[in-house]
Structure 1
C-alpha cells in the first residue's frame, strides 16, 4: 500500500463515498490524509449511512459537514441527502456551494434551507453536469445569467417552481439530456394555463405525481417518455420521430398525443390505464419497429372493445415480446381464434388475470396457436386468500387445462407468477 500513488488512494477513498468512512480511512497515515485533502473527488453525507446522524442537532450537523468539505480540494461530486433534517441554515449551505462550485460536476441536495437560497445562482455558469434537487423552492430564473452550459441530467423532486421558471430553466440548460420531475409543485398564473417545455437536447423524461390541465413538450431528440401516477387533461408531445420508449403507468389523461413521434417506437409499456383501443392503436399504428408491447391491467373505455391481436400482428411485424392483462370478454376469444394471421416473431408471451375464469384458458390456447416461434410463456394471476369453492374449481380446471395444453408445446418454457 505504501507504493500506491496518492491519486490512486484518492480514487479508493472516492469509491467509499460515505463521508464518515472516508474520514476514518484517511486517518490511516499521512499519505492517505494527503489523498483525502487533494485527490478526493466524491463525498456523500447520507442519513442512512450512519445512525449517529439522526441524533445530532442541526447546528452540530452543519459544523461536521462544513469541516469535512473544507478539508478537501477539487470535489467533483457532492451528495447531501439528509431525510431526517427538516432544514439547514442558509449561510453554511451557501458556503459549501461557493467553496466547491468551480470543480463540482454533480450535486445531489435534498434539504430545505432557511431562508430559502437561490441554488441556481450559486451553481450557474460553472461545469455542473448533474443536478438533483429536492425539497427546495426555485424562483426568479434568469436564463441569460444562470446558465448551465454543461448540465446533462436534471432531477427535481418535491420542488416548488412556476411553470414559467421551469420553462426558463430548461432554456438555460442547452445540453440537458435527462429530466426527472417528481411530485413538483408547479405554480400556474392561470389554473387552466398550458405548461410548455422546450428542449432540443432532451432525450429522456420521467414525470411522476403531477396534476395539471395541459402539458406541451417540444423535444425533437426525445427517445424515452415515462409518465407515472399523473392526472392530466392533455399531454402533447411535439418531436421529430426519435421516440424509442413510451411508458405510461397509472395515469389519468383525457387527451394523449405523441404526434408523429411513433414511427421509431421500439417499446410501448402501458399499465393501470383506461384506453380507447381505436384511438390508442391509431396513435402507435405506425410503429413498425415495435419489439415489446405491454398492455397490463388496462381498462377499456367501451365495454365492447378488446385488444385486436390481428391488428397487432399486421402493424408490428418485429414484435418479439407481448404482455397482455385485462378483463376478458367473449370478444377476446374472437381475436384469438382467427386463422388469417400469426405473431411470427413473438418469443416471449406474458398473460395475466385479476379474476380467473374459463375464458382465460381458451384465450391462452388461442394466442399460443398464433405464436409459432414462442419460447417462453409466463402466466400471472391473482389468487385471493379466501377462495370460494367455485374459485378453487376454476383454478383447478385451469391448471389441468394448462398441463394438457403444454404437452402440445413441449418446447415452450412455462412459468407461473401468482400473488
Structure 2
C-alpha cells in the first residue's frame, strides 16, 4: 500500500482476507457488504484513522476492536449489522468520537451506569425489528451522550405480517412520546420508517413516515398515531 494513501473504500465484493501491509497514513476506512471475510488485520497499528465505516461484514466486534482499538483519533464510527458491539469498549477506546452509527442489537444489550460518550454529537440508529425495549433502550443511550445535538433513528421493515408492522410503528410512536420530554430539548430528532416490499397478502406498496421533533412540535405524537392507524387499515384491506 502506498504510504500516501489516506482513504480506502471496499464495497460489495467477496474476499477472504483484508490485510494492510507496511507503514500507512490511512485516515478513512470503509468496508461494506463484503462476503466471506475471514481475516482482517493491519501490520502496523492504524493510529492515523479518523473515520471508520464497517457494515454487513462477517467479522465480529471483538475482532474489529483488536484491529482498530488503538486508533484513538477516530471521530466518526459506523458499525452497521456488526455482531457483538460493545458500547463501553467504544466509549473508552475512542475518546474523540463525535458521530456514531449503529444497528439496534438483536439481543438485549445492557448499558452500564458508568457508560458515557462525553464528546458524541450525532447518534444514528438503524433497526430491522423493534421490540418492547426499543424506545427505552434508545432513550437510555441518548442520556449517555451529554453533548448530543442530533439523533437519527431509521427503521426498515419488509415481508412481515400486518400485526408486526403495526407493532414496529408503535415502537416508533413511543420514541416520539419519549423525545418530547423536556430533558431532550437540546437534541434534534428525526425518526424514519421505511416499509418496503411487504408481501404475503399484506401491505403491497411502500409506506412510511418521517417527522422531526423539536421543543415546540407537540403535534408529532398525534401524527405518528394517525400513521399507525392508516397502516393497519391498509394491511387489513389487503388480507
TM-score, with structure 2 as normaliser: 0.74
Contact kept in structure 1, 2:45 and 2:70, CA below 8 Å:
no
Who is 1:376 aligned against?
Answer: 150
Structure 1 residues 390 and 254: alpha-carbon distance in aligned structure 2, compared to 1, 3 A threshold: closer
Runs of 4+ in 1 over 4 A off after TM superposition: none
Answering whether residue 174 of structure 2 is matched by residue 416 of structure 1, we say no
The reply on whether 1:277 has 2:99 as its aligned counterpart is no
Separation in structure 1 between the aligned mates of residue 179 and residue 104 of structure 2, nearest angstrom: 22
Structure 1 counterpart of 2:25: 242
TM-aligned CA deviation for residue 261 of structure 1: 4.3
1:389 equivalenced with 2:173 (yes/no):
no
Larger relative contact order, structure 1 or 2 (CA cutoff 8 Å, min sep 6):
2
CA contact (8 A) 1:242 1:261 kept: no
Match of 1:258 among 35, 42, 62: 42
Q: Does 1:319 align with 2:91?
A: no
| CA displacement 1:76-108 (0-9 Å, x = unmatched) | xxxxxxxxxxxxxxxxxxxxxxxxxxxxxxxxx
Q: CA deviation at 1:231?
A: 1.3
Q: 1:385 to 1:341 in 2, by over 3 A?
A: closer
- Quote how far apart the aligned CAs of 1:292 are: 0.3
| 8 Å Cα contact 2:33-2:56 kept in structure 1 | yes
Query: 1:393 and 1:233, CA in 2 relative to 1: closer, same or farther beyond 3 A?
Result: closer
Q: How does 1:329-368 map to 2 (within 5 A)?
A: 329-330=107-108, 332=109, 334=110, 336=111, 338-368=112-142
Equivalent pair of 1:323/1:349 in contact (CA under 8 Å):
yes
In structure 1, list runs of 5 or more residues that go unmatched.
1-217, 301-305
Conserved? CA contact 1:239–1:261, under 8 Å = no
What is the 5 A alignment of 1:3-402? 218-252=1-35, 253-298=37-82, 300=83, 306-330=84-108, 332=109, 334=110, 336=111, 338-384=112-158, 387-402=161-176
Q: Under a length normalisation based on structure 1, what TM-score does the superposition of the two structures give?
A: 0.43
Distance of aligned partners of 1:406 and 1:322 in 2 relative to their CA distance in 1, 3 Å threshold: farther
CA distance in 2, matches of 1:352, 1:310: 19
Residues 1:399 and 1:285: Cα distance change in structure 2 (over 3 Å): same
Q: Does the C-alpha gap of structure 1 residues 390 and 249 become closer, same or farther in structure 2, counting only changes over 3 Å?
A: closer
Partner Cα distance (1:255, 1:393) in 2 = 39
Change (3 A) 1:275 1:360: farther
Question: What is the Cα deviation at residue 390 of structure 1?
Answer: 4.2
Q: 1:276 to 1:400 in 2, by over 3 A?
A: closer
3-state SS of 1:358 partner: coil
